[in-house]
Structure formats: C-alpha cells, structure tokens
Amino acid sequence: MTQWRILCNRLIAVFRPRQRDTDLDEELRAHLEMAVDDYRKNGLDEKQAREKALRDFGGVVRTKELYRDLRSFPALDAFLQDLRYALRIFAGNPIFTAVVVLTLALGIGANTAIFSLMNGLMLKSLPVRDPGRLVEIKRDPQKNGFTNPIWEYIRDKQEVFDSVLAFAGTAFNLATSGEIHRAQGLYVSGSFFDTLGVRPVLGRLIAPTDDVRGCGTNGPVAVLSYGFWQGEYGGRPAALNRSITIDGREHTIIGVTPPDFFGVSRGEYFDVATPLCTNERQTLANPLSQWLSILARLKPGQTVQQAMAGLGILQPSIREATLPAGQSEPRFIAQYLKEPFSLIPAGSSTIRTQYERPLWVLMTIVVLVLLVACGNIASLLLARATARAHEIALRFSIGASRGRLIRQLLVESLVLSVMGATLGYFFAQAAGRVIVRGLLNIDGDLSPDWRVFAFTLAVAVATGVIFGIAPAIQCTRWNSAGTFSELRKSAGAFGPRTNLGRWLVCFQIALSLALVFGAALFLRSYRKLVTVDHGFRAENILMVNAYLPGLGFLSFGQNKSFETYMKALDAIRELPQVRSAAYSSLSPVTQLVMRMNVATDTFHPTSEGESLAAANFVSPDYFATFGIPLMAGRDFDSRDVDQGRKVAIVNETFSRKFFPGRNPIGMTFRRGTQFFEIVGVVGDASYESLRDPVPPTEFLPVTAGFMAQLFSIRTPLSGAAITPQIVSTFQAVDKNFTVRVQTLQTHINDSILQDRLMATLSLFFGFLALLIAAVGQAGLVGYSVVRRRAEIGVRAAIGATPGSLVRLVMRDVIILTGFGIVLGMVLGIAGGRFLSTMLYQVRVTDSAIIGTAVGTLALVAVLAGYIPARRAAKIDPAGCLRSQ
C-alpha cells in the first residue's frame, strides 16, 4: 500500500519539475536564513553566521541532487529532459526537421498502408464469437466448393463438430426490371448466424426453420448488412418486413446484422443474405454443382487433428450417399469416392489467397524504401553531428559520459521518427483508401485497429534506432581523442562522415537499384499483358448480362426461356449501330472455366488431365463478333442451333493436340457421353485469363450446353450511349428482363488489376527510393567538397585545372556508384527469383531490363554527384588558403 503511494507520488512528481525545484530552493534558503538569524542572535557577525549555517547544513548542491533523485524517477526525468532538449533543437532547425519528418512520414506511411491491407486481409480475426474455434472444411487445400447434397449430409449426420454452417457468395440483382441493380449477395444455411454467434441489431436473423427446401412457412426471407441498411434504407427500422426483390423473386426483410459483421471471408463483404433454399440458380439436389463453402465450430477442447480424424471416419459414407447418379465413368467415381476432406482455419478467401503474395512483395518493397530513407537521415544526422561537434565536445569536457550523450542523440532520433510516424499514420489512411479504391477490387473491413497502431509504433522505434544509432556512436567516438580543441578540429576537418557516410550512400544506391529493377520487371510484365495478342479484338465489344427471373442452370431443352433469348438476340442484331451480336455461355478473360475430358481416336493421354479441353457454348456469329478468324470450315448456322446438331468448332491448339498433322474437319471427338463432329477451325484466343496459355478449346452450339445469359455486341458506340437502347430492346421482348452492360475492355482491365497494382506501386516506390538516394548522393558529394576545400584549394593554387578538380571528386562518385550497382544487381536478381511467378513472360535475367535499371540508376547517381562536384571547380584558391 505504502509502496503504491510512493510510486504514485513519484510519478506525479514527473510533472512541473521546475516548480518543484523552486519550492525546494525556497525551502532550503529559508532553512539557511533561519539558521543565520539564530547564530547572529548568538553574537556572530553576518559572515561567520552564514559560514556556520552552511557547515551545519552540509552540501546544499548535494542535498538538492539527492532530493531530485528521490523525488521522481531519475531515468524518466533525464529522458524528459532529453526530450525537451530535442524538441528545442528541432524547433530551432525547422527546415532540417521538416525534411526528415516528411521523408520518414513517406517511408513509414507506406509501411503502415501496406500493413493495413495485410492486416485486413490476413490478420484480423473474424467478427464472430470465438473465431479461433472456427475451421473451414476443404476438399483439399486447393479445391473449393461442396455440393448441396454433401452439405445436407454433413449437416444432418455429423457429430464431429459442435455445429456446422454453409454459405456461398454471389451477385444478387435487386431490380424488378430494367437495368440491373447489383448487390453483393450471400446464401447462408439456417445455422449460419447462430453458429457464428452474430446477433441482430434489428429484427431477427436467418434461423434453421427459414432454410428448408421450399423455404418454410415464412417464405423466402432476407437479412441486410448494416451498411446496406444504412445506404439503401437510411437506417430506418421500417425496412423490417418490407419486401425486397432478389433475382426476380420477392423476399421479406427480417433483420439487420451488426456494423462490424462483414461475413466470414476477409476482404469481402455482403449486402443481403438469404437462406440457401432461395437459390434458384442451383437446384438444391444437383450432385455436381460445387458452390458451397462449409465452416465448422470445434467442440470445446477438441483439436483440429481430432476433428480431422472424426471427419475422416465420416468421409466414405458422405461420398457414398452423395455420389452423382448417372455417372458411369469409373475413373470419375473412384476419384470422387477417395477425395479426402481437410480442415483449415476459417476466414481465408479467394481474395486473400490471390493477394497474399503481392502484399508480401509490396511489404518488402516499402521496407526497403524505408531503409533507403533511413540511410539518408543517418547521413543528415552525421553531417549535423559534425556541425554540433562543438556542443558535443563541450558536453564531454564538462563531464557528460558517452552513454549519456548517445542516449541524448538517440532520444533525438526517436523524437524524429515518432513525429514522422504520426504524420505517416495519416498518410497511410489516405494512401490505403486510394490503393483500395483505385487499384484493388476489394472491399470489406480494412480500417486500422490496434495491430496497425502497434505496427506503426514498432516501425517508428526501429527506424529511429536504425538511423540514429550509427551517427550517435560515430560522433561521440572521440571521447578519448584528447583535448577539446583537437576534438573540434578533427570533427571539422576529417569528419566522421568519411567512411560511414560513403557506406550509407553505397547501400542506398544498391537498394534503390534493386527496387528500380523490380519495378522494371513488373512494368515490362504489365506492358506485355496489355499489348499481348488476345486472339480476338477487344475494342468496341459490349458484354450484356440479361436475366429473366426464375432462370436456373437448366439445359436448353428444359427451358422455355430459350425462345425469348433468341428473340432478344435477333432484336439486338436489328439495332442500327450493332455490327454483329452473339450469345454464349462465357466471355473470354473472366476467370471462368468450363473444362472436360475429350477423347479422340488419334490422341492417347499418358497422364490424368492431359485430355482436358476448355469449352464454350456459342451462337452463330460469335467468332465474327469477337474478331476471331475462321481458319477452315464454317461457322455455326441457325440450323445447327435449332436442330440441336452435334457439331463443334475447335481452335488451332485443339486441332494440333488432338489431331496432330491431320485435317480435323469432319473428324469426331467424344465429350462426356456425346460425340461431336468438327465443322470448323478458328484461331487461338485467350480463354480464362490473358496470362494462361491458350488451352485447347472446343465451341459447341448454345443448345448443347446450359442456359446462358450472356450477349456480346460489336458496336462503335460507347457503352453509355447505347445502353438505353439495349435495355429497351430487351424489355420490348420481355418486360421482366434485367440487363447489365459492360465493355469487354473493362473485364480485361479487371483481370490484370493486380499486375497494374504491382507495376504502379513498384514504379512509384522505385522512383521514391531513387529520389531519396539521389539526394543522399548529392549531399555526400557536396559535403565532401566542403570538407576537402583546403586540399582542393591547394591543388587549384598549384595549377590544377577546374576539369581535373571535378574529375578528382567524380572518381569517388563513380567508384561508390559502381559498388552500389554491383551489390544492387546481386540483390535484385536474387530477389527477382521470388517474383517470377507474378511476372508474365518476363525473365528475371532479361538483359534489356537489367540494362535499363542499371542505366537509369547510374545516370541518376552520377548526375546527383556531378552537380555538387562542379562546385569544386569554383573554389577560389586564394580565399581558401587565407581562411586556413
């Protein structure tokens, strides 16, 4: 108790130290005066009385020192003293301080910004009850998705877990007709919210009774996210029990989720959640469509290994019970039966997987930029320490210990870095928003939390120590150098900057080169992606998604809507500005794939997966619309479609692979259980993405596949100009049509968003590092010219030409730059190997790229050295000699 009180009192005493000092002074003075008074009463004269009083007292100064040590915490006190001193120094050098703080703010801000993204996508715990006990069931770590029959079996039969839930993200269309009103949708099982422990802020959430086949007594229900409720309904409670149209079907709004609940995939979000039973695009009994993710909550005390073992026991019966009927291919059945389940921590998402590597690369980049910045600040501090040599020498001479001085200098560095970090923290908020909005296609909760704050603080401290420690040690080194005057001289003339400063610049050049090289790789890769020949002509193509309510993934034969779609296609073709239009299951470069094994008499696969070919179901004119050249044979015609002929068009890769050295026209291949006759060959065109090599692709008439909603239109008009016409054309055919229009170019740009992100950011950071290093180089050279003034003056006096003086200085610059470049290239090529999977058709050892990077760097570094070096030629020998 007493100990606590002492501690508190000491802590309080940290404040207002000066007032407390004055108090003590006054108290002691009163003491002495009273003693003097007494002695004088006893007959001593003034001087004797004072002497005696002082003798009785003992050392006044010593007493004060003891008192101060006890009053508070001497270390803390000294720290605060250092802090005040540092602030005073910085206030006296506003320009120096501003430059340093701004540099640091950029460096630290970049780190915080990237870390915020990493935090949001990878580290934040899910906004649910006890997220550590949630696991995701996977088919294997790479494969996504379970069929609804598997989910229902697990839901009803499992006793391994406390509880299980299933969900699937999708896009909902909320419009009743006309242009599509998109919202991020989430299909959830009845157990979803209860298992996660999410409580509604309004109404109730989806319960197991809402999620039964046919959707229970309440009919289809919907739950809104907090953000959507705020945005679309103004946060009004009246939204409850209102009806909302989702994909053409009425749902009743029953509740709103809390503000922090974004779902269970980091970096994603949802607007509206509905029970699985409302999904009409998937027939719930479909044993093939793998659209669900499954999460499970572990039982208390249960380990992941135990749960895995339990799941392993259940696996065979799940598989037996859900084996798709009508499958006859033994290989497929065997594979289906033995495919294992595995468990991973919940919260991963495709976005997370997709961005994990780029984010690590970016994190490395920004750390390197910060290091380059640290190099500069260390140089600046060194130069300043030289200017402060007088002060430091003075402090030594009146008895400051070296440790004390280093501490003082480190406190100064820390003050700088903390100021930089504070500013950088705000930069990061702004930069983070720009990156997320402009360069990434992600949404979700990326707001900073305590981790971001702690990270920034840690970076600030580390930075302060990194750039502060070397100058602090260096400039207090001449403690033993002897006399005060020698110290001053040595500091001035042969300053400490000589070696350390050179190393710093060399290291900065190396790191910047590595960064510039990385940027060049990303840039080249991006350029290649942009200019790559897609095999089709992307410009002037509009992609139109047109939905009719109640349209599932049905085969054409089963669906009456097909007629309507064909009518719509004809109506679109009639429009005056439409050159051609087609209807297909997929459009290129949308990351969507339909793949199946094909078999021919001439091709004998040696390994599994070798006979896979990509497919698309298309209407006549598809190739004309996309500008894919017909190499041989013919396009589909209306009879192929109407009569459901088993004909196919293949691309050149398909032809080469499955019919090597033969004319494929007239040949047949087997796809699943059906045989198709090849009637045409078209040129190769990108399929799922620009990066992947063109796969062997077969095109089949639309009627051979599933119902599609996708139209492609070639028109010289812009999307905005023709959209109203397109919408009204569709609605004239059927007023229930809802339509979304996008340019194909947008799709393509979206597909290389990550490449653009990496190219843009790495270029930005590369140039930032280059700029910082150039400033460092210029500073070093400028300083060395000043330092070698005397020598240069003498040389000039005995007849050196201005040119030779500049060469003298530049020799150093070139040697330094050379070292930096060699070191940087070693770093760059070593680091580049980690990037190779992110690059498109770019080799890390590409000599043109290496040449560009090295050339840029050498030019900048030498130029940055040359500008101050010219000053050497202007040194006036006479004036210089006089001043010595």
Partner 1 sequence: MGEEKADILHGTLALMTLRTVEALGPIHGYGIARRIEQMSRGVLELNQGTLYPMLLQLQQAGWISSKWGISDTGRKAKFYSITRSGKKRLEEEAESWKRISKIVERFVRPDADFS
The residues binding partner 1 (CB under 8 A) are 2, 5-6, 9-10, 23-24, 26-28, 30-31, 33-35, 37-38, 56-60, 62-63, 66-67, 70-71
Q: Which amino acid is at 169?
A: G
Q: What is the 3-state secondary structure (H, E, C) of 419-448?
A: HHHHHHHHHHHHHHHHHHHHHCCCCCCCCC
Instruction: Closer to partner 1 by CB, 71 or 870: give it.
Output: 71
Q: Which amino acid is at 842?
A: V
Closer CB to partner 1, residue 34 or residue 830?
34
Q: Are 542 and 712 in contact (CB under 8 A)?
A: yes
Alpha carbons 78 and 407: distance in angstroms, whole number: 10
Q: Which is nearer to partner 1, 67 or 96 (CB)?
A: 67
Q: Which is nearer to partner 1, 59 or 724 (CB)?
A: 59
**Hey, is 833 helix, strand or coil?**
helix
Cβ-based nearer residue to partner 1, 67 or 336: 67
Best CA proximity match to 522, nearest among 107, 859, 841: 841
Kindly tell me which of 26 and 51 has the beta carbon lying closer to partner 1.
26
Output the smallest distance, CB 45 to partner 1, in A: 18
Closest distance to partner 1 from the beta carbon of 136 (Å): 58
Query: Residue 16 or residue 634: which is nearer to partner 1 going by CB?
Result: 16
Give the nearest distance from C-beta 3 to partner 1 in angstroms.
9
Cβ closer to partner 1: 30 or 826? 30
Helix (H, G, I), strand (E, B) or coil at 823: helix
Quote the CA–CA distance of 531 and 474 in Å, as a whole number: 53
CB hemisphere CA count around 167 (13 angstroms): 27
Chain position carrying tokens 């770590």: 141
Q: Which is nearer to partner 1, 55 or 604 (CB)?
A: 55
- Three-class secondary structure of residue 372 per DSSP: helix
In terms of CB distance, is 54 or 400 closer to partner 1?
54
Name the minimum Å distance from CB 27 to partner 1.
Answer: 5
Classified as helix, coil or strand, 364 is helix
Looking at the Cβ atoms of 30 and 98, the one nearer to partner 1 is 30
Among residues 102, 185, 79, 650, the alpha carbon closest in space to that of 410 is found at 79
Q: Contact 593/624 with Cβ under 8 angstroms? A: no
Q: In 3D, which of 701, 670, 725, 666 has the Cα closest to residue 582? A: 701
List of residues 6+ apart from 377 with CB closer than 8 A = 100, 103, 104, 416, 467
Nearest to 57 by CA among 93, 24, 32: 32
Minimum CB distance to partner 1 smaller for 8 or for 285: 8
Q: Which among 594, 591, 616 is positioned nearest to 751, based on CA atoms?
A: 591
User: To the nearest whole angstrom, how small is the minimum distance from the Cβ of residue 475 to partner 1?
Assistant: 37
Q: Is 301 left (phi over 0), alpha (psi -120 to 50) or beta?
A: left
- Rounded Cα distance, 113 and 118, in Å: 9
Least distance from partner 1 to the Cβ atom of residue 50, Å:
14
691 contacts 530 by C-beta, under 8 angstroms: no
In whole angstroms, the minimum distance from the beta carbon of 52 to partner 1 comes to 11
**How many whole angstroms separate alpha carbon 519 and alpha carbon 509?**
15
46 HSE (CA, 13 A, CB side)? 0
- Smallest gap from residue 2 Cβ to partner 1 (A): 5
Instruction: Tell whether the torsion through CA atoms of 480, 780, 424 and 98 is positive or negative.
Output: positive
Q: How far is the CB of 414 from partner 1 (least distance, A)?
A: 30
Interatomic CA distance for residues 52 and 72, integer angstroms: 31
**Residue placing its CB nearer to partner 1 in the complex, 54 or 717:** 54
The CB-of-18 to partner 1 minimum distance in angstroms stands at 17
Residue 12 C-beta: closest distance to partner 1, Å: 10
State the nearest-atom distance from the C-beta of 481 to partner 1, in Å.
Answer: 38
Rounded CA separation 751/490 (Å): 61
Identify which of residues 59 and 132 has a Cβ nearer to partner 1 in the complex. 59
Residues 109, 429 contacting (CB under 8 angstroms): no
Residue by residue, DSSP assigns 311-330 as: HHHHHHHHHHHHPPTT---H
Q: Considering the complex, what minimum distance in angstroms separates the CB of residue 62 from partner 1?
A: 7
Which single residue is written with the structure tokens 């990194």?
Answer: 466
For the CB of residue 5, give the shortest distance to partner 1 in the complex, in Å: 5
- Cβ atoms within 10 Å of 760's Cβ, excluding its own: 17
Whether residue 446 contacts residue 432, with contact meaning beta carbons closer than 8 Å, is answered with yes
Q: Residues 568, 737: contact at Cβ < 8 Å?
A: yes
Of 29 and 242, the one with the shorter C-beta distance to partner 1 is: 29
* Closer to partner 1 by Cβ: residue 60 or 822: 60
Among 362, 377, 456, CA closest to 765: 362
Q: Which is nearer to partner 1, 38 or 130 (CB)?
A: 38
- What residues are paired with 541 via a beta bridge? 714
Closest CB 7 distance from partner 1, rounded Å: 9
SS3 295: strand
DSSP letter string, 213-265: TT-TTT-SEEEE-HHHHHHHHTT-GGGTT-EEEETTEEEEEEEE--TT---SS
Report how many helices (DSSP H) and strands (DSSP E) the chain contains, helices first: 28, 22
Q: How far is the CB of 29 from partner 1 (least distance, A)?
A: 9
**Closer to partner 1 at the Cβ: 67 or 603?**
67
Shortest Cβ 113–partner 1 spacing (Å): 47
Please, what is the minimum distance in Å from the beta carbon of residue 71 to partner 1?
A: 6
3-state SS, residue 647:
strand
